[in-house]
Amino acid sequence: MAKSPPKTETARETTPQHFPEVAPPAYAQAVGASYLVESMMQMQQSIGEMKATMGHLKTSSDNQSKKLDRVSHIIFAAGVVLTIGIGIGGFVLNKVWDGVVTMVATSGQASLKSQSQQIAPGPKTDRASPQ
């Protein structure tokens, strides 16, 4: 069997030359655990506030959606009413126009008849020849 190489002085365990001047805290783990618990509680509080804020935003968004739906229904209804109004107005104007055209046509024929009666020839007299 082969022999292991002899240990050198650098590989040997030695005691440290300098000791720390300040002793570590006696409750190092307890301080770390309380800090961790405090951090978790603050995080839980922040998450609770965020949940409340998100709930408020959701409610606000729902209200805005309802308002937008209401506005779209109002616009649609106004379009329907306007279309019906234009249809009825067009029908009435058509009938008025027909009445005006009929009145103009009949008055035009009556005036033609009266003009033709006024122009109708009477007994012929010759004005050019003296008698």
In a structure prediction context, what are the per-residue pLDDT tens digits for the chain, which is 131 residues long? 456 655 555 566 777 777 777 766 666 555 667 788 888 999 999 999 999 999 999 999 999 999 999 999 999 999 999 999 999 999 999 999 999 999 888 887 777 666 666 665 555 665 655 55
Question: What CA–CA distances, in Å, run from 49 to 45, 54, 56, 60, 92?
Answer: 6, 9, 11, 16, 64
Nearest CA among 16, 17, 15, 35 for reference residue 25: 35
pLDDT of residue 55: 95
DSSP character for 128? Answer: S
pLDDT of residue 105: 85
Backbone angles phi, psi at 108, to 5 degrees: -65, -40
Pairwise CA distance, residues 41 & 110, whole Å = 103
pLDDT of residue 17: 76
Pairwise CA distance, residues 35 & 27, whole Å = 12
pLDDT of residue 104: 87
DSSP character for 27? Answer: T
The kind and range of the H/E element at 55 are helix 28-119
Global pTM reads 0.43
Pairwise CA distance, residues 85 & 78, whole Å = 10
